[in-house]
Amino acid sequence: MTVHQRVKRSVAAGILALAVAVSGLATAATAQAATGHTKISCTAAKIRTAPSTTATVLGIGYRGDKVAYDRMVSHEKNWWTHGTVTRRSDGKKVRGYVVYQCANPLRPLARPPPVLKPVQHTPG
């Protein structure tokens, strides 16, 4: 094997190892930041199929029911928590969207971090 081939293989192996490491770090950071547990804080909260007040109701979660959430979504000027609600009354698990005020994963903060919108630059 020539020196040129060895160098090519070493560089290729290094790039592959770096790509695997970077993708693993990105995945881990996303999963840790977007998942967790909280509880329903309202007297009753509708669990919906989509983050919308007109979406189909899958069930009702009551105060103290556990929520394993995996993301927060902003839609129709409201924030929604998506995850699985485990009801204390019957142990049933219902997966869907709950209005953020009733399933606040960032307690004691009042609202989730703002979504940054792109700034439009006008030439001038």
pLDDT in tens, 6-25: 666 665 655 655 555 544 43
- Domain extent, residue 88, equals 30-102
Per-residue model confidence (pLDDT) at position 7: 61
Does residue 6 lie in a domain region?
Answer: no
Whether the pLDDT of residue 4 is over 50: the answer is yes
In whole angstroms, give the CA distance from residue 51 to residue 78: 9
DSSP state of 111: S
CATH number at residue 45: 2.30.30
Does residue 54 lie in a domain region?
Answer: yes
More confident residue, 49 or 1: 49
Does residue 9 lie in a domain region?
Answer: no
Using pLDDT thresholds of 50, 70 and 90, give the confidence band for residue 30. very low
Does residue 120 lie in a domain region?
Answer: no
Whether the pLDDT of residue 57 is over 50: the answer is yes
DSSP state of 118: P
- Each residue of 3-33: b (16+ CB within 10 Å) or e? eeeeeeeeeeeeeeeeeeeeeeeeeeeeeee
Using pLDDT thresholds of 50, 70 and 90, give the confidence band for residue 118. very low
Does residue 41 lie in a domain region?
Answer: yes
Does residue 55 lie in a domain region?
Answer: yes
Per-residue model confidence (pLDDT) at position 36: 85
pTM of the model: 0.60
Per-residue model confidence (pLDDT) at position 35: 77
Whether the pLDDT of residue 104 is over 90: the answer is no
**Looking at the 3D structure of the chain, how many domains does it have?**
1
Q: Determine the average pLDDT of the residues in 64-75.
A: 90
Does residue 84 lie in a domain region?
Answer: yes
Q: What angle do CA 28, 38, 102 make, to 5 degrees?
A: 125
Whether the pLDDT of residue 61 is over 80: the answer is yes
Does residue 49 lie in a domain region?
Answer: yes
